[in-house]
Homo-oligomer: A and B are copies of this chain.
Amino acid sequence: MHMRRPATLASLAAELGVSRTTVSNAYNRPDQLSPELRRRVLETARRLGYPGPDPVARSLRTRKAGAVGLLLTENLSYAFRDPAALGFLEGLALACEGAGQGLHLVPVNPEREDVAAVHRAGVDGFVVYSVPDDDPHLAAVLSRPVPTVVCDQPRVEGVDRVGIDDRAAMHELAERLIALGHRRVGVVCMRLARDRNDSFAGLERQQSAHFHVQRARLAGLADAFGTVGVAWTDVPVAERFDHSSACGAAAAAQLLDTDPELTALICTSDILALGALTEARRRGLRVPQDLTITGFDGIPEAERAGLTTVRQPVLEKGKAAGKLLLGAVDHGRPRQIVLQTELVTGSTAAPPRSAEERWFGP
């Protein structure tokens, strides 16, 4: 008997002459029926080609999808190439795996603002990773009646959060540079908003940046240098839309062309810093003797390059986000997890050469 439409619980039950509940129990609660009947049920299922209870129908009834949604927004390639994002992804995936939950990557078409995908995702909760705070997808996620965790984002009313203290971490790094004697510094930062800008970013753009992480890091720098009398308005900040080593190099070039007297380039990510290193090498500048370069993230590649940077626990961030979401025991009030960072003393930061040294040097 060839069935056009595949078998269902009901058709199986009819075939066996038992109730649907019993068939359901055969799959989900073996202790609720006799082993003999259960055997018959499963055997008949095999014979009829019944693939087991439909996951979607089950989800509807049980109100559990068994999956966590992940919103990345960024061009996906970014997430799969950036070691920091990858670490986060891995941590989150591990947490999900540990809890037997799937991880549902929500497709985001960067072209048109296809918020529909957020509404289509059958998930029990969302993790939102580093999207601009005015992103419509974020708004769509928040409109869904499921628990949400944001990461590397500003606090959202009533939503759990995982992150680091970007501002304090960058402040500490700046203090280190200040102690070394640097006063004339340039900054290379990642995109500050959704619109492309591959040049300098003025104070206003910095302060109204929609990417919380970048905004906080810049603020930390401004704080620290302000304390020692360096007017932040005088500090050039080169912004790059794409996050690549090549962009870091280009931004470094732009800064050094504009002001050759800079003694240090502070980059808001390791990827950018690695590019800056390349550019310095290209110009015959020795690091750290002629130029200090710092990064942020603490990715393995940076470690290999001996970069002075701030290490943040990316894997832990992902795990923490997962735990927060999955262990969501009716949390009385939204929680926040702030992970520790660590200043990594590499070999790319040293005292600046004084003007004399630079003039009479070798």
Q: Which residues from chain A sit less than 8 Å from chain B, CB to CB?
A: 6, 51-60, 65-67, 69, 76-77, 80-81, 86, 89-90, 93-94, 96-97, 99-109, 114, 116-117, 119-122, 143-145
Contact in complex: A144, B56 (CB < 8 Å): no
Residues of the B chain whose Cβ atoms lie less than 8 Å from the Cβ of A77: 90, 94
Q: Least Cβ distance of A292 to chain B in Å?
A: 26
Contact in complex: A100, B86 (CB < 8 Å): no
Contact in complex: B104, A103 (CB < 8 Å): yes
Copy count, this protein chain? 2
- Distance between Cα atoms of A57 and B65 in the complex (Å): 11
Known interface pairs A105-B103, A145-B6; A119-B76 also in contact (CB < 8 Å): no
Q: Which of B53, B54, B121 contacts A67 (CB 8 A)?
A: B121
- Distance between Cα atoms of A117 and B104 in the complex (Å): 13
Contact in complex: A76, B90 (CB < 8 Å): yes
- Distance between Cα atoms of A56 and B145 in the complex (Å): 13
- Distance between Cα atoms of A96 and B79 in the complex (Å): 15
Residues of the B chain whose Cβ atoms lie less than 8 Å from the Cβ of A107: 96-97, 99-103
Q: Least Cβ distance of A189 to chain B in Å?
A: 25
- Distance between Cα atoms of A103 and B57 in the complex (Å): 20
Contact in complex: A102, B90 (CB < 8 Å): no
Contact in complex: B100, A117 (CB < 8 Å): yes
Q: Give the residue name and chain of the B residue nearest to A6 (CB).
A: B145
Residues of the B chain whose Cβ atoms lie less than 8 Å from the Cβ of A53: 119
- Distance between Cα atoms of A121 and B123 in the complex (Å): 10
Residues of the B chain whose Cβ atoms lie less than 8 Å from the Cβ of A69: 102
What are 17 A-B residue pairs whose CB atoms fall within 8 Å in the complex? A53-B119, A55-B122, A58-B120, A66-B121, A67-B121, A69-B102, A76-B90, A76-B97, A93-B105, A96-B105, A96-B107, A97-B107, A97-B109, A102-B104, A102-B107, A102-B120, A122-B122
Known interface pairs A56-B59, A90-B76, A145-B51; A108-B103 also in contact (CB < 8 Å): no
Q: Which of B51, B57, B90, B117 contacts A66 (CB 8 A)?
A: B117
- Distance between Cα atoms of A104 and B70 in the complex (Å): 10
Residues of the B chain whose Cβ atoms lie less than 8 Å from the Cβ of A55: 119-122
Contact in complex: A104, B51 (CB < 8 Å): no
Q: Give the residue name and chain of the B residue nearest to A53 (CB).
A: B119
Q: Least Cβ distance of A103 to chain B in Å?
A: 4
- Distance between Cα atoms of A57 and B121 in the complex (Å): 11
Q: Give the residue name and chain of the B residue nearest to A58 (CB).
A: B120
- Distance between Cα atoms of A55 and B99 in the complex (Å): 22
Contact in complex: B76, A80 (CB < 8 Å): no
Apart from A6-B145, A102-B105, 7 more pairs, CB < 8 Å: A55-B121, A56-B59, A56-B122, A67-B122, A76-B93, A81-B90, A102-B104
Residues of the B chain whose Cβ atoms lie less than 8 Å from the Cβ of A51: 143-145
- Distance between Cα atoms of A121 and B52 in the complex (Å): 12
Residues of the B chain whose Cβ atoms lie less than 8 Å from the Cβ of A56: 56, 59-60, 65, 122
Contact in complex: A100, B109 (CB < 8 Å): yes
Residues of the B chain whose Cβ atoms lie less than 8 Å from the Cβ of A54: 60
